[in-house]
């Protein structure tokens, strides 16, 4: 399954609104469990970068952070307003 | 299939080196085909943000931009050096 299929399957689940959507996934695979946990800060900075290009409302962002063994996956889903800045 | 499975299936394909890896995926779903194409610039800025946290060598980054209908998927794969900054 390609990422396109994954993205589309998510779309089907989320009621298929005719809105622009942006999804950012940051996945980190660690070799060692120690080391700094920078994903939450990275997430905030990526969101700030996205805000330069599109208008993002606070309540239009959903954030999920999942950990599974040495994998960490941070998922940001942004629904964009019809009118772009 | 969850994103974890997707990430793991990619790992299997890429020879399972014992290295830290970071993957950033930005998927954009457009309603209208016009509108600005900001993904390439966003890609560069996200990479700069990542560089604040980890040392990223130029040749350790692979970038793919795929378009399929109204979906655009930008994928950055970064292999991190053992030594973090």
- Average pLDDT (B5-30) is 69
Q: What is the mean pLDDT of chain A?
A: 77
Q: What is the tens place of the pLDDT at every residue in A20-53? A: 888 999 998 887 767 678 888 888 898 899 899 8
Q: Please indicate whether, in this complex, the C-beta atoms of A26 and B29 are within 8 angstroms of each other.
A: no
CA distance A60 to B30: 16
CA distance A23 to B69: 16
Q: Please indicate whether, in this complex, the C-beta atoms of A30 and B46 are within 8 angstroms of each other.
A: no
pLDDT at A13: 47
8 Å CB contact between A30 and A72: yes
Q: What percent of chain B has pLDDT over 70?
A: 72
Residue B84 has pLDDT above 50, yes or no: no
pLDDT at B14: 47
Torsion angle, alpha carbons of B3, A27, B13, B16, to 10: -130
Superfamily of domain B19-80: Cell division topological specificity factor MinE (3.30.1070.10)
Question: Looking at beta carbons, which residues of chain A come within 8 Å of B43?
Answer: none
Domain-wise residue ranges, chain A: 20-80
Q: Please indicate whether, in this complex, the C-beta atoms of B25 and A21 are within 8 angstroms of each other.
A: no
Among A19-23, B6-10, B64-68, the least confident range: B6-10
8 Å CB contact between B64 and B32: no
Instruction: Give per-residue burial for B31-67: e unless 16+ CB within 10 Å, then b.
Output: eeeeeeebbeebbebbeebbeebbebeeeeeeeeeee
ipTM (interface pTM): 0.70
Superfamily of domain A20-80: Cell division topological specificity factor MinE (3.30.1070.10)
Instruction: Give the tokens for residue A32.
Output: 């060692």
Residue B85 has pLDDT above 50, yes or no: no
């Amino acid at each position: 399954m390609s990422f396109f299929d994954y993205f589309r399957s998510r779309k089907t689940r989320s009621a298929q609104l005719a809105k622009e959507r942006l999804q950012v996934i940051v996945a980190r695979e660690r070799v060692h469990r120690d080391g700094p946990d920078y994903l939450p800060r990275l997430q905030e900075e990526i969101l700030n970068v996205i805000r330069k290009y599109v208008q993002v409302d606070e309540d239009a962002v959903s954030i999920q952070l999942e950990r599974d063994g040495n994998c960490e996956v941070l998922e940001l889903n942004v629904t964009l307003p019809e009118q772009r800045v």
